[in-house]
């Protein structure tokens, strides 16, 4: 096992400890080059409205078991004419701390219309924004499916709500979406469950490998 080197990094909220990436974690851009990577927290197109702490590169990093399972999901998806689009994978705890600082700043509502139009900001922590995220354990990811349109361009399947929309409309089995949108969500869920991933039923895009390889460990090495 590669020696874990503890580094001290400065964060906007103070000092925190970051680790180097364990050797049983993998960069999915190498293992799964055919996927589309839209790593939202590396840029500003997200509910925080800015790049998030700990995302130094637009990469999807996963623990090895989850990585191998996701490759199998991709193979099965391709057999049905789909491609994976990935929004987030491993998430450092420093990023979660950034989310919490944003959530506690109730005066900053710049992204409300796009991400939580029907909720007040003080209701987001808990069901939608966790103080300790399963993503930090290395085997949880957010994703969707893409298909080719009539012009041959790859486009996202219509899931009835966009990624990271904090609303009951994003609940996987919400009856308010159309039958076609619901079927798209179920197609993603079927592909993921076949390889051992479990859906978080409040967010159609959110999946965790079960059982978790590191059920009690929350990592803080940067995505780079």
Q: Which amino acids are annotated as binding site for Zn(2+), given as ranges?
A: 135, 142, 206
DSSP one-letter code for 139: -
Cα dihedral across residues 203, 209, 211, 215: positive or negative: negative
Q: Which of 23, 150, 153, 203 is catalytic?
A: 203
In 101-221, which ranges are E strands?
A: 140-148, 154-156, 197-199, 206-209
Rounded to whole angstroms, the Cα distance separating 57 from 47 reads: 18
Rounded to whole angstroms, the Cα distance separating 19 from 24 reads: 14
User: Which residues define the annotated binding site?
Assistant: 135, 142, 206
Active site residue 203: yes
The Cα diameter of the chain in Å comes to: 52
The set of residues, in sequence order, having a beta carbon less than 8 Å from that of 119 and lying 6+ positions away, is 166, 167
Positions marked active-site: 203
């Amino acid at each position: 096992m590669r020696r874990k080197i503890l580094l001290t990094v400065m964060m906007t909220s103070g000092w925190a400890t970051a680790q180097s990436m364990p050797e049983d974690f993998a960069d999915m851009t190498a293992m799964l080059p055919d996927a589309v990577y839209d790593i939202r927290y590396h840029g500003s197109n997200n509910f925080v409205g800015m790049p998030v702490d700990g995302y130094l590169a637009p990469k999807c990093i996963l623990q090895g078991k989850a990585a191998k399972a996701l490759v199998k999901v991709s193979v099965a998806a391709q057999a049905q004419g789909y491609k994976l689009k990935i929004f987030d994978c491993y998430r450092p705890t420093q990023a979660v701390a950034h989310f919490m600082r944003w959530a506690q700043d109730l005066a900053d509502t710049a992204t409300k219309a796009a991400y939580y139009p029907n909720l007040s900001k003080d209701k987001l922590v808990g069901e939608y924004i966790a103080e300790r995220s399963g993503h930090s354990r290395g085997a949880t990811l957010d994703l969707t499916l893409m298909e080719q349109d009539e012009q041959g361009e790859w486009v996202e399947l219509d899931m009835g709500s966009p990624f990271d929309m904090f609303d009951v409309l994003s609940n996987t089995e919400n009856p308010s979406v159309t039958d076609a949108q619901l079927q798209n969500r179920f197609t993603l869920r079927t592909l993921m469950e076949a390889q051992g991933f479990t859906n978080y039923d409040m967010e159609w895009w959110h999946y965790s490998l079960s059982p978790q390889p590191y059920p009690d460990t929350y990592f803080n090495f940067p995505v780079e």
